[in-house]
């Protein structure tokens, strides 16, 4: 049976993205190290097979949505990895958030094998993944992006060509450093309002129409009960993990060292997320930093 897409990484983001491709009519083979994630994909109409590399070898497009640089490097560059198995002409799309340098290394190895690869990290969270409204930030050749468009358009609604290999990851790194900083600032402001007897919902509504407005406040409010659909209102489950935000802030701080850039707020945000993770919150949504900034019982 022919396969349009081999999709590796069916976690919080990858599962809804892959299911949107299935709904759009593509034949998608989904793979994850966690069997329950694959079962959810199959229950949603996707197909799978025991050997993910057999699926890659049969696919027109391989898409990866993996946690971090090391997972992407091993999935593509490993002895029995994607580059070793993809047939000539297969388009490679990595949607994970990884270091720009790692993205360039993997894309260079793909080119050496005669394959086209783009880095296409996303923004928009799990809600954006489910609603197919993600923003894609693409690095790599323009013809690679043209070939990828029919697939990306079914998973997102804004697609930007940021530049050459790794440029998508560079833009994503800048975006997520700002997001991490904004989330902490938003938590501080809501905490301060509550400590002064202001209702968190009312405070958020007013700031949402004032100069402090931002995505963390308006779309992803970190205070439980303010937004029924935000991770804060479901015990900070699902969403974008603290450890993933910590990874992204680490990428920004490392990159700042190598480019001699000053990121004092990004460094501080990284340290706060590090403490939060060490306190046992690594798997919670990143908006749970709200808890760290309050009294232990709140």
Residues in touch with ligand NAD (CB under 6 A):
8-14, 31-34, 37, 65-67, 71, 75, 96-97, 122-123, 125-126, 239-240, 244
Is 209 one of the catalytic residues? no
Residue 154 backbone dihedrals phi, psi, to 5 degrees: -85, -5
Smallest distance from the beta carbon of 194 to ligand NAD, in angstroms?
A: 26
| Phi and psi, residue 52, nearest 5° | -65, -30
Query: What is the rounded CA–CA span in Å between residue 139 and residue 117?
Result: 9
Q: 11 or 140: whose CB is closer to ligand NAD?
A: 11
Catalytic choice (47, 87, 157, 172): 172
* Residue 213 CB, nearest approach to ligand NAD (Å): 20
Q: Which is nearer to ligand NAD, 65 or 102 (CB)?
A: 65
Kindly list the distances between the CA atom of residue 228 and the CA atoms of 148, 221, 233, 297, in Å, as whole numbers in the listed order. Answer: 35, 9, 6, 21
Three-state DSSP at 184 gives: helix
Minimum Å gap between C-beta 171 and ligand NAD is: 13
> Nearer Cβ to ligand NAD, position 29 or 204?
29
Residue nearest to ligand NAD (CB): 11
Closer Cβ to ligand NAD, 102 or 115, answer by number: 102
Give whichever of 115 and 284 is closer to ligand NAD, judged by the CB atom: 284
Minimal distance, residue 96 CB to ligand NAD, in Å: 4
Q: Where are the alpha helices (DSSP H) in the chain?
A: 14-23, 35-43, 52-58, 69-77, 82-85, 100-112, 125-131, 142-152, 167-195, 200-208, 215-218, 242-258, 264-276, 289-292
Long-range pairs for 291-295: beta carbons < 8 A, 24 or more residues apart: 291/236, 293/184, 293/187, 293/188, 293/191, 294/191
In whole angstroms, how close is the CB of 28 to ligand NAD at the nearest point? 14
CA angle 257, 262, 266 (to 5 degrees): 90
Rounded to 10 degrees, the C-alpha dihedral 86/89/90/93 comes to: 120
Name the token pair of 95. Answer: 């949607």
Task: List the catalytic residues.
Answer: 172
């Amino acid at each position: 049976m022919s396969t349009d897409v081999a999709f590796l990484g069916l976690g919080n983001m990858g599962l809804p993205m892959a299911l949107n491709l299935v709904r759009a009519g593509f034949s998608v083979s989904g793979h994850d190290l966690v069997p329950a994630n694959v079962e959810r994909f199959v229950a949603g109409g996707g197909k799978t097979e025991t050997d993910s590399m057999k699926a890659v070898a049969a696919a027109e497009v391989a898409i990866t949505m993996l946690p971090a640089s090391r997972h992407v490097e091993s999935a593509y560059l490993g002895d029995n990895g994607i580059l070793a198995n993809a047939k000539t002409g297969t388009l490679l799309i990595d949607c994970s958030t990884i270091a720009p340098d790692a993205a360039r290394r993997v894309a260079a190895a793909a080119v050496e094998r005669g394959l086209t690869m783009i880095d296409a990290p996303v923004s928009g969270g799990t809600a954006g993944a489910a609603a197919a409204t993600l923003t894609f930030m693409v690095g790599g050749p323009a013809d690679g992006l043209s070939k990828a468009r029919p697939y990306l358009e079914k998973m997102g609604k804004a697609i930007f060509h940021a530049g050459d290999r790794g440029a998508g990851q560079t833009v994503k790194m800048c975006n997520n450093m700002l997001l991490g900083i904004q989330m902490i600032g938003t938590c501080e402001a809501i905490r301060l309002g509550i400590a002064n007897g202001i209702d968190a919902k009312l405070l958020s509504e007013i700031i949402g129409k004032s100069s402090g407005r931002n995505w963390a406040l308006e779309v992803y409010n970190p205070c439980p009960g303010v937004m029924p659909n935000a991770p804060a209102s479901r015990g900070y489950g699902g969403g974008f993990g603290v450890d993933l935000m910590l990874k992204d802030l680490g990428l920004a701080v490392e990159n700042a060292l190598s480019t001699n850039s000053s990121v004092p707020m990004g460094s501080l945000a990284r340290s706060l997320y590090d403490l939060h993770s060490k306190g046992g919150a690594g798997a919670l949504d990143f908006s749970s930093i709200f808890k760290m900034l309050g009294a232990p019982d709140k």
